[in-house]
Amino acid sequence: MSAIRLSPRRVAKPWGRTDIGPPFNREALDAGDERIGEIWFELPAGRPEPALLVKYLFTSEALSVQVHPDDAQAQADGARQGKEEAWVILDAEDGAAIGLGLEQRITPEQLRAAALDGSIERLIDWKPVAPGDHFHVTPGTIHAIGGGLTLIEVQQYADITYRLYDYGRPRELHLDAAIACAEAGPYLTPNLRTPIGVGVDRLVDGPKFGLVDAHCDDFAALPDPGAYGPVWFIPVDGAGSIDGEAWQPGECWLLDDAAGLAALGGSGRALIAWTMAA
- The catalytic site residues sit at 163
Answer yes or no: are the C-beta atoms of 202 and 193 closer than 8 Å. yes
Give the separation between CA 89 and CA 133, rounded to whole angstroms: 5
Which residue in 50, 66, 7, 15 sits closest to 36, CA to CA? 15
Dihedral sign of CA atoms 218, 224, 230, 233 in order? negative
**Dist CA 130 CA 259 (whole Å):** 33
Smallest Cα–Cα separation from 273: which of 134, 150, 69, 146? 134
CB atoms < 10 A from the CB of 245, how many? 12
d(Cα 69, Cα 71) in Å, to the nearest integer?
A: 7
Which pairing describes strands 97-102 and 162-165: parallel, antiparallel, or unpaired?
unpaired
At a CB cut-off of 8 Å and minimum separation 6, what does 41 contact? 6, 7, 8, 9, 53, 54, 55, 251, 252
3-state class (DSSP) for residue 261: helix
Instruction: Let me know: does 173 contact 66? Beta carbons within 8 Å.
Output: no
Residue 33, classed as helix, strand or coil, is coil
